[in-house]
Amino acid sequence: MSAPSPGQASRPGPTFPGPSARGRDGSEQTGPRLRVDWPACQAHGLCAELMPELIHVDEWGYPVVASGPVPEALVAQARRAVSSCPTLALRLQNSR
């Protein structure tokens, strides 16, 4: 792994367990994924309060989203977090 080049943003990855992109049998998991539009995000942290299972905030208040698809049991909660984002920066994208 190489160091980020000057001007390249470096964000730590999630430091909490999140759903894996692969199932127990090694097959790739599908389902919607949470994404952040970084220029739009203003670090309110509301999403992390509404979705602590998959989002926490870094030391600057920006969300750190677990990689992998949102588990089916949490999709409704994820939709609420998306609709509550005051800047429409949080999105739920369907994977292909």
Q: Quick one: which of 66, 72, 60 has its CA closest to 34?
A: 66
Judged by CB under 6 A, which of 32, 44, 54, 69 binds ligand SF4? 44
Least separation, in Å, of the C-beta of 77 and ligand SF4?
A: 14
**Nearer Cβ to ligand SF4 (28/88):** 88
The tokens describing 39, both together, are 């220029």
Contact by Cβ (8 Å): 89, 36: yes
Sole residue written with tokens 């999630």 = 14
Per CB under 6 A, 93 contacts ligand SF4: no
Per CB under 6 A, 31 contacts ligand SF4: no
- What is the C-alpha separation between 31 and 17, in angstroms, rounded? 18
Binding site for ligand SF4 (CB under 6 A): 36, 41-47, 63, 85-87, 89-90
